[in-house]
Structure 1
Amino acid sequence: MADSTPAAVLGTLAAGALIKHLSAAYIAKKDFVRVGRISELYVWPVKSCGGLNVQAGQCEKTGLFHGGVGDRTWVIVSPEGGYVTQRQEPKMALIKVSLHGSTLSVDAPGMPTLQLPTKPQTDDKSQVHNVKIKVDTTEYLDCGEKAAAWINKYLGRQGLKVGFSAPNLHKRDAITAQKLWEHNAKSGDLLSFSDYSSYMLMTAQSMNVLNSKLDKPVYILNFRPNFVVDECEEFDEENWSEVKIGNVRFRNIDDCTRCLLTTVDPYTGEKSKEEEPLKTLRTFRCRSRYGPKPVMGICLAPDSLGDVKLGDEVYVKYK
Structure 2
Amino acid sequence: MNTTQIPAPLIIRPNYEQVCKVKKLFIYPIKAVKGVEVNELEITKYASKLNRSWALLNESNNWIGIKHEPRLALTRTSIVGDELWVDAPDMPTLKLRYIDKLNNNHNILSFRMYGQQIKGLVCSDECNKWFQTFLGKPGVRLLQHHESFDFRDTNSDKRRNDDKEFPIIYQNKSGLHLINESSISHLNSRFSEGADHVCHENFRPNVLVDYPQAWAEDTWKWMRINGVNFMRLLACDRCPSTTVNQKTAVKNMETLVALKKFRPPEGITKKKGLGPMWLDSEDVSQNESLTRKHFVKVCKVKKLFIYPIKGVKGVEVNQLEITKYGVKYGSFRDRSWILLNAKNDYINMNTDPKLVLTRTRIMGQELWVDGPDMPTLKLRYIDEINDSHNIITIE
TM-score range, shorter chain: 0.7 to 0.9
For residues 267-312 of structure 1, what are the alpha-carbon distances to aligned partners after superposition, in whole Å with 9 as ceiling and x for unaligned? Answer: 221212xx12111111122224795577xxxxxxxxxxxxxxxxxx
Q: Which has the higher strand share?
A: 1
Question: For 1:110, which of 81, 86, 90 is the aligned residue?
Answer: 90
Give the structure 1 partner of residue 350 of structure 2.
none
Give the structure 1 partner of residue 25 of structure 2.
41
Relative to structure 2, which stretch is displaced further, 183-192 or 232-241?
183-192
Question: For 2:176, which of 196, 199, 214 is the aligned residue?
Answer: 199
Q: Which has the higher helix share?
A: 1
Give the structure 2 partner of residue 254 of structure 1.
234
Structure 1 residue 178 displacement after superposition: 7.0
Give the number of the structure with larger relative contact order, counting CA–CA contacts within 8 Å between residues 6 or more apart: 1
What are the within-5 Å matches in structure 2 for residues 1-319 of structure 1? 31-65=15-49, 70-124=50-104, 126-174=106-154, 177=155, 179=157, 182-183=159-160, 186-214=163-191, 215=193, 216-272=196-252, 275-288=253-266, 291=279
Q: Is the 8 A contact 2:156 2:233 kept in 1?
A: no
1:231/1:259 Cα in 2 relative to 1: closer, same or farther (>3 Å)? closer
For residues 120-168 of structure 1, what are the alpha-carbon distances to aligned partners after superposition, in whole Å with 9 as ceiling and x for unaligned? Answer: 5322375111121111110111112111111111111111110011122
Task: Report the Cα distance in structure 2 between the residues aligned to 1:203 and 1:131, rounded to whole angstroms.
Answer: 33
Residue identity matched to 1:201? L
User: 2:41 is paired with a residue of what secondary structure?
Assistant: strand
Q: Deviation above 4 Å: which 4+ runs of structure 1?
A: 289-294
RMSD: 2.1
**Gaps spanning 5+ residues in structure 2: where?**
1-12, 269-278, 284-395
Task: Report the Cα distance in structure 1 between the residues aligned to 2:100 and 2:249, rounded to whole angstroms.
Answer: 29
Q: Is the 8 A contact 1:102 1:119 kept in 2?
A: no
Task: Report the Cα distance in structure 2 between the residues aligned to 1:289 and 1:139, rounded to whole angstroms.
Answer: 38
Task: Report the Cα distance in structure 1 between the residues aligned to 2:42 and 2:156, rounded to whole angstroms.
Answer: 29
Q: Is the 8 A contact 2:156 2:163 kept in 1?
A: no
1:169/1:143 Cα in 2 relative to 1: closer, same or farther (>3 Å)? same
User: 2:146 is paired with a residue of what secondary structure?
Assistant: coil
1:185/1:254 Cα in 2 relative to 1: closer, same or farther (>3 Å)? farther
Give the structure 2 partner of residue 26 of structure 1.
none
For residues 76-125 of structure 1, what are the alpha-carbon distances to aligned partners after superposition, in whole Å with 9 as ceiling and x for unaligned? Answer: 01222220111111001112111111111111111111111123532237
User: 1:238 is paired with a residue of what secondary structure?
Assistant: helix
TM-score by length of 2: 0.61
Residue identity matched to 1:282? K
